[in-house]
Chain A
Amino acid sequence: MRRVEDPPLLTGDTRFVDDLAPPGTLHACFVRSPYAAARIEGIDAAPARAVPGVEAVLTAGDIPGGLRAVLDRPEFTPTVMPLLAGDAVRHVGEPIAMVIADSRYSAEDGAEEVLVDYDPGPAVASLDRALAPGAPRVHDEMDDNLLLQVPMYDDPELDDILARAAALLEARFTTGRVTAAPMEGRASLARWDRRDSRLLVYVSTQVPHLVRTTVADVLQIPEHTVRVIAPDVGGGFGLKCVVGREEILVAAAALRLGRPVKWIEDRYENLAASWHGHEQRYDVRAAFDANGTLLAFDADISCDVGAYSCFPFSCGVEPLMAATEMPGPYRLAHYRARTRAVATNKVPIAPYRGVSRPQITFVMERVMDKAAARLGLDPVDIRRRNLIARDDFPYTGITGLVYDPASYRESLDLCAGHLGHDDWRARQEAARRDGRLVGLGFSCFSERTGYGTPAFAQRRMSITPGFESADIRMDPSGGVTVAVGTLGHGQGHRTTLAQVVSDELGVDPAHVRVVQGDTDATPYGWGTFASRSLVIGGGATKLAAGALAERLKRVAAHLLEVAVEDVELRDGRLQAAGAPEVSMSVAEVARVAHHAAHRLPPGEEAGLQARAGFDPPGTFSNATHGAVVEVSPATGEVRIHRYVVVEDCGVVINPMIVDGQVRGGVAQGIAAALYEQLLYDDEGQLLTATFMDYLVPTAAEIPPIEIHHLETPCEYSATGAKGMGEGGTIGAPAAIANAVSDAVGHLGIEVDAIPIHPAWMRARIEEARAR
């Protein structure tokens, strides 16, 4: 089924934030710190105010306050991320002043004239420097740079098992800092509606209600006076599921100036001052018995989280996820994990597609391959031995997660079959005889999706997201409008949710309109992130549509004078079971419900609307990725010859959209494995602040991706569907790293760090050949 979202996006009839221009709009840009760590001794904005076109320059003195994310854990230290830095800056790109002018050009002219007197101090720009004894502290009031340090899991028998294991693997894994880089950066336009006394905020966000609450809280205005609209949103991938300083500042400036104020994040700001993620280090020990059974796992996890906690998820989002989900799809009885969030003078992290699961999957899948090599086992066999099996469900993992039925082993077998795993060694040998380095690698993983408030409550955030509601109503002509708190921004929710409603009500999807992204028109909800929308929002939608169907049946039964349990709803008609001639159309019922309400059954409310909420426990999608790669000894470059995904996300509602999510996700995972990395120097200067340096791959780098499906229906979701927005990104780095390690393993080279830079690879191959 084609997407209803497409036509305006194809004709240029778009409504992204920067496409909106209320009369009199002013344009903002920010003065951003050129230093990673400095005291601010003074700010002189007078010269900027004299620049032609500049209307105002605002500093922390004008707009005080900040964003403070809280976790209810004694091991957590909250940080206040100032809206505008007043006393000190803690990363390059931190906003210090907001210049508002008649155009972005003039605003940038003005920003150059704001004179800031900095007293630069020492910066910590890496995990090693931040953790070193006596290291400079990112936050003066702290004793060290540990914003969170938790011994999350322990086992008294663990050391003993590790000591006695047939194979004990010890390894360090690191993953590079990356960013979502949606093609549309962040964007915000706010205006004060004097007539209605409302603050209107148009924002490129994944979480409009959260923006509304945060704007109201920080600006101390009643929340009902704030209306947040997310119009077209040009990609998010997590970057827009947090609330940033700039969105609040734009709202504050619009209130203060009484004119519309717009800020469009440019690409420099997006790379250098937005949100980053995925820069982690793992020191692990894993014990296997001689048959390859994983006995025990000990993980020490450090996440470089930058200077502040993102709001509302906090800097715990990566370390807590990593420790909790480390075992992934494998049975594990003995586990220890210490996890920490380490402050550095770098851009803060926020959730980015996958949130720690690309990293833990990379770690666990590399461990599996290393163990296989150590024990002389086949990589597929060792995985099969350890994967959670059909008979194990529901499987309660060592960290307390309950795994619902999935197809871990089946997806691996299918993927291995598609890639010709059986005769791979022979083909690899033949290639090596021709001087070619080719490798095959797999990645098995679970993707926890659709988690509701009980699961989020375990994070102990001050705000617990999770539930969704749907409001559905039918108009007198039989047309359906459903309003949801989720927000598709590329995922095609307006199409898929219309399909869900259509299936439930038997009406043409073309007669179903999905409303999202306007806090005045939708029930309070948590937006779209963490692969939650189809499970939770889709569940609420299905339940609401089901409730509406029941109302239709009750009314029809009364009008047709048959028992309500005998009324069937199909193909847009309500009919008596076994007597199709006794029937009326949905539209006829709708007409009566609105225009002849006196004919409704006694006690039936006039009109046709229903509301339902949904708050499921969560469900696990799963997949196996497999890659065949070739490494060039001359250049160190990795080329991907084949990439196969066997995906199981339960019931597939729209196959085209599902495959699109997989492909896009894999592209971002390949990017993290081979191309993208944000690099800082020792002074905390970002070295990769352009698209010439931050290498988002093009169509020439991303190979065709073959997708196969298994379907293990979800028992906890109303639709049988599981979430699947992140799996592509989760699985790809491990598959690539394992394939590359397979290609060069005979030279003694193992990929334990991503991205895999060709210079590193070429040098290792040369060293190996020189030995």
Chain B
Amino acid sequence: MKPARFEYHRASSSAEAIELLDTLGEDAKLIAGGQSLVPMMSFRLARPSALVDIGRIPGLDAISVVDGGLRIGALATHAAIESTSDPAVLDGFDVLPRTARFIGHLPIRTRGTLGGSLAHADPAAEWCVLALALDAEVVVAGPSETRIVAARDLFTGFLSTALEPNEMILEVRFPHRPTRCSFVEHSRRSGDFALVAASARLDLEAGICRTVRIALGGVGPTPVRAVEAEALLAGRAPSSELRADAARAAAAALDPVSDVHAPGEHRRRLAEVLVRTALHRATGAP
């Protein structure tokens, strides 16, 4: 279980990284923390011709609140987000550190990065699910332009994104401070990828849902929004009955495939349970 040969380049700026990607061709890959890529390389399931190491590019790991929204550099590690003590972040965006705790184990979180996780696009990855729930905007730089990709447009298929081979994620923006957002997941063993993960965001005004976002992971090739469930709740008070109806609607819209970890039907049922729990927590219950 040793990786195949590859060329190694260490980039000192994002511009240099992008130029390297552009030059090296589409078999080259970025490596930041490498916590998803390296295991695949060990099994030789991933065989990049070259790795461009962006782990040392300065200034890409900041966590800051700008205009009421949160901006996190692509190289911020899960552990850094988990342990942030910035009151501006914790006030309203505390779902991020709470979610970070679910990612793998501590020694994975010290290396893995927010940008890397989104670029890898595992359908059960915590950040991918949360990005959908929070309407995240992903700042993507390429050789000629820097563009913003909405989270809902980012995930195009299993482990696939809208990023071009010569693009890299610079920053992730969470423009809206949610009133309440929850994240829950279920795995058979501590620290494993979730069988199913769910996040629910309820922006309430006078007890009425103004904005509802429900996102699920582990139920298909990409993380998904539960739009039917969202529609049930929008404009209404999220009563216990309504939340249960929404959870059923979310599950009914899914058709997860079966794999070695669980039959698809089990994931569908877990999705209902987790959406119900996520909505319950998003109403402010403990």
List the interface of chain A (C-beta within 8 A of B).
104-105, 108-109, 112, 266-268, 634-637, 675, 679, 687-688, 690, 692-693, 695, 697-701, 757-759, 762-763, 766
Contacts and interface: CB of A to CB of B under 8 A. Distances in A.
A758 B273 contact: no
A697 B269 contact: no
B191 A108 contact: no
A460 to B, nearest CB: 39
B161 to A, nearest CB: 22
Interface of B: 1-5, 43-44, 186, 188-193, 260-263, 265-266, 269-270, 273
A634 B2 CA distance: 41
B189 A635 contact: no
A469 to B, nearest CB: 41
21 contacts: A104-B2, A105-B2, A109-B4, A266-B1, A267-B1, A268-B43, A636-B266, A675-B189, A695-B188, A695-B189, A698-B189, A698-B191, A700-B189, A701-B190, A757-B262, A758-B266, A759-B262, A759-B263, A759-B266, A762-B266, A766-B269
Contacts of B270: 635
A262 B190 CA distance: 35
A701 B1 CA distance: 28
Given A268-B43, A635-B270, A763-B265, A688 B189 contact: no
B39 to A, nearest CB: 8
A675 B260 CA distance: 12
A679 B263 CA distance: 14
A700 B193 CA distance: 15
A446 to B, nearest CB: 32
A109 B260 contact: no
Contacts of B3: 105
Nearest to A104: B2
Contacts of A688: 260
B194 to A, nearest CB: 12
Contacts of B44: 108, 112
A762 B265 CA distance: 10
Q: Is the interface of B mostly helix, strand, loop or mixed?
A: loop
A758 B1 contact: no
A679 B260 CA distance: 8
A464 to B, nearest CB: 39
Contact of A268 (B1, B260, B261, B263): B1
A693 B261 contact: yes
A757 B186 CA distance: 14
B189 A108 contact: no
Given A690-B43, A695-B188, 18 more contacts: A105-B3, A109-B4, A109-B5, A112-B4, A266-B1, A268-B1, A634-B273, A675-B188, A679-B260, A687-B260, A692-B192, A693-B260, A698-B189, A700-B189, A701-B189, A758-B188, A762-B266, A763-B265
A594 to B, nearest CB: 53
Nearest to A267: B1
Closest 6 CB pairs of A and B: A700-B190, A759-B266, A266-B1, A105-B2, A634-B273, A687-B260
A215 to B, nearest CB: 27
B260 A635 contact: no
A759 B196 CA distance: 13
Contacts of B190: 698-701
Contacts of B260: 679, 687-688, 693
A675 B261 CA distance: 10
B273 A635 contact: yes
Given A693-B260, A762-B269, A108 B192 contact: no
Nearest to A699: B190
Contacts of A636: 266
A302 B102 CA distance: 42
Contacts of B186: 635
Contacts of B191: 698, 700
Contacts of B5: 109
Contacts of A268: 1, 43
A7 to B, nearest CB: 25
A698 B263 CA distance: 23
Contacts of B262: 757-759
A725 to B, nearest CB: 26
A766 B3 CA distance: 45
| Listed residue (B5, B44, B260) with the most chain A CB atoms within 10 angstroms of its CB | B260
A697 B186 CA distance: 15
Most buried by B among A688, A698, A757, A759: A759
A695 B188 CA distance: 8
A365 B4 CA distance: 51
A101 to B, nearest CB: 11
A763 B266 contact: yes
A762 B189 CA distance: 17
